[in-house]
Amino acid sequence: MLCVLADAGFTGELKGSIQIKGSDTMVNLAQAWAEVFCEKNPGVNLAVTGGGSGTGIAALISGTADIVISSRTMKEKEINKARENGIQPNEIKTALDGLAVVAHPANPVSKITIDELSDIFTGKIKNWKEVGGMNLRIVILSREVNSGTHVYFKEHVLRKGNEKSVEEFSPAALLMPSSQAIADEISQNANAIGYYGMGYISSKQKVIAVAKDKNSPYLEPVLVNVQNNSYPIARPLLIYTKGKPQGIVKAFVDFVLSEEGQEIVRKTDFVPVH
């Protein structure tokens, strides 16, 4: 993808390249930003690749990515590794996301609590009938360990935000290479349960409403519930840069945070930050 950049801070045409790498959840959003940015500014080389937030963060640490798209915050040890390499990670919130819990459209289960989800994904609950469904064995689908979505779901659902918890995904969980792979498997597997960012929701999967506990409202990951933080599995979608953004990178970040960039967030079914 080639694009050229003209910004008030520059004189003449700016040449160079931007490597954007990371979150599978955000890759479609980042590509949509890049396409419009390149249409407006044809000539700088701009590449967007996924692979997971962990992959992107590793690329930032090694200096091979200019911008990381991440669905989780960097861990302290990752920040320290980057600093050892002379890189100061700079975090920018670009959008909000609600993690959708999904099952096959024929599944009668329409609501579930965080406790029940934790018990399903750790393997304590093994049959759909235990949560009001049919007498079917539950097939657990998860993202792979380098996925920020995997990490966030483990920390906030399996471990319920308790930093001292050591709960892990069931060994029986099928680790899928992408959010789209989870969506595809759910659409053809009546036993399956999975999760992905709200931008992947489609009519081929059933979204299950989630409650913090049995006394709380059951909510779906729609814009208003994510924006007002009432949906229990909402999170920020982040960009990391090497220090404060400058030059081409700054212009791209400014575009992402602009009214037009935030409208792209809305059009890709995520939630704008402003």
Question: In this structure, what DSSP letter does residue 24 have?
Answer: T
Tell me the whole-structure pTM to 2 decimals: 0.88
Q: Is the dihedral of CA 127, 128, 133, 134 positive or negative?
A: negative
Which of 252, 210, 215, 258 minimizes the C-alpha distance to 231?
A: 210
Does residue 13 surpass a pLDDT of 80?
Answer: no
d(CA 172, CA 188): 19
Domains parsed from the chain with CATH numbers: 2-96+237-272 (3.40.190.10), 97-234 (3.40.190.10)
Q: What is the pLDDT of residue 16?
A: 78
Contacts of 73 (CB under 8 A, 6+ apart): 91, 238
- Cβ atoms of 221 and 207 within 8 Å: the answer is yes
> What is the C-alpha separation between 16 and 46, in angstroms, rounded?
9
For the chain, the maximum distance between any two Cα atoms, rounded to a whole number of angstroms, is 68
Tell me the per-residue pLDDT of 234-273, one tens digit each, with 9 for 90 and over: 999 999 999 999 999 999 999 999 999 999 999 999 999 9
CA 212 to chain centre: 20
The pLDDT score that the predictor gives to residue 131 is 98
pLDDT at 44: 76
Q: What angle do CA 74, 118, 99 make, to 5 degrees?
A: 55
Q: What is the pLDDT of residue 207?
A: 98
Of 7-21, 41-55, 200-214, 229-243, minimum mean pLDDT range: 7-21
> 74 to each of 21, 43, 58, 91, 270, how far by Cα in Å?
14, 32, 10, 9, 21
Residue range 159-215, pLDDT digits in tens:
999 999 999 999 999 999 999 999 999 999 999 999 999 999 999 999 999 999 999
